[in-house]
Amino acid sequence: MSEKPRRVLLKLSGEVFGGGTLGLDIDVLNLIASQIHDAVTEGVQVACVVGGGNFFRGAELSSRGFDRARADYMGMLGTVINALALQDAIEQAGTRTRVQTAITMGQVAEPYIPLRAIRHMEKGRVVVFGAGAGMPYFSTDTVSAQRALETNCDELLVGKSGVDGVYTADPKFDPNAEKLDYVTYHDALAKGLKVVDATAFSLCMDNGLNMRVFGMSEPGNVARALRGDTIGTLVSA
């Protein structure tokens, strides 16, 4: 019998898409897309959850007077723009791609249907999940853990733009911060290591899903992570 193919969920934050600023950096998008295409060509089944921080973050808008729920919906719509951009880039690289959104918008994307998403992946299509959970007060980190669980992914891969893994403290502010090759969810939560939010960590911990946090700036790292190379930091129960 043939070996079960590796299936992974790649979480890309909006920061990655914007190349550090507002909007989209097309060159960065194409670099990510070509690596996803390479991994799919090698037989890896790939789903992506995209963030929206390069457009709007609900909490930031709300701190400036916006209604929180409305601001969160703006944030979710930003993730859909990123999802469509990623779809285009992956298709141009040569791999069929479907976008599924948690807020129904029939003209631009399929609704979120987990069994259909699995079927797409089995057929070698990439599935990009947009609009988060479709609910205010949630983050795309939490959604990536949930989607990975519901579509039976083997691992959750979290691509970061500023760091190459999980550190003992924020390396931007603490020169003594050390990179960890491995950390448990329990320790990450107890020590308040802020790589993804606490809800995402605990969802993975409670359901035994491994997470690999890696840096996006090293060329080829997305493909390495998708293939299962031991880069960055492994977080597990």
Query: Which residues lie near ligand UDP (CB under 6 A)?
Result: 13-15, 51-53, 57-59, 72, 75-76, 79, 132-133, 135-136, 138-141, 143
Question: What is the Cα–Cα distance from 10 to 176, expressed in whole angstroms?
Answer: 29
Q: Which residues contact 86 (CB under 8 A, 6 or more apart)?
A: 12, 17, 29, 32, 33, 48, 50, 97, 128
Give the count of beta carbons closer than 10 Å to the beta carbon of residue 205.
Answer: 19
167 is in an annotated binding site: yes
Give 14 or 165: the residue with its C-beta nearer to ligand UDP.
14
94 is in an annotated binding site: no
Nearest alpha-carbon partner for 61 in 76, 74, 77 = 74
What is the nearest approach in angstroms of ligand UDP to the Cβ of residue 195? Answer: 12
By the 8 A CB rule, do 184 and 235 touch?
A: yes
Question: What is the Cα–Cα distance from 164 to 93, expressed in whole angstroms?
Answer: 25
202 is in an annotated binding site: no
Give 26 or 69: the residue with its C-beta nearer to ligand UDP.
69
Q: Which two tokens stand for residue 144?
A: 């990536």
Measured CA angle at 204 (ends 225, 138), to 5 deg: 100
What is the nearest approach in angstroms of ligand UDP to the Cβ of residue 59? Answer: 6
Rounded to 5 degrees, φ, ψ at 20 are 95, -10
57 is in an annotated binding site: yes
Give 102 or 183: the residue with its C-beta nearer to ligand UDP.
102
Give 70 or 123: the residue with its C-beta nearer to ligand UDP.
70
Facing residues of 184 across strands? Answer: 236
Pairing of strands 166-167, 179-180: antiparallel
Give 135 or 198: the residue with its C-beta nearer to ligand UDP.
135
What is the nearest approach in angstroms of ligand UDP to the Cβ of residue 5? Answer: 27
What is the nearest approach in angstroms of ligand UDP to the Cβ of residue 170? Answer: 16
Question: What is the Cα–Cα distance from 164 to 145, expressed in whole angstroms?
Answer: 20
133 is in an annotated binding site: yes
Give 38 or 204: the residue with its C-beta nearer to ligand UDP.
204
2 is in an annotated binding site: no
What is the nearest approach in angstroms of ligand UDP to the Cβ of residue 124? Answer: 26
11 is in an annotated binding site: yes
Positions at the binding site: 11-14, 52-53, 57, 72, 133-140, 167, 170
Positions at the binding site for ATP: 11-14, 53, 57, 167, 170
Positions at the binding site for UMP: 52, 72, 133-140
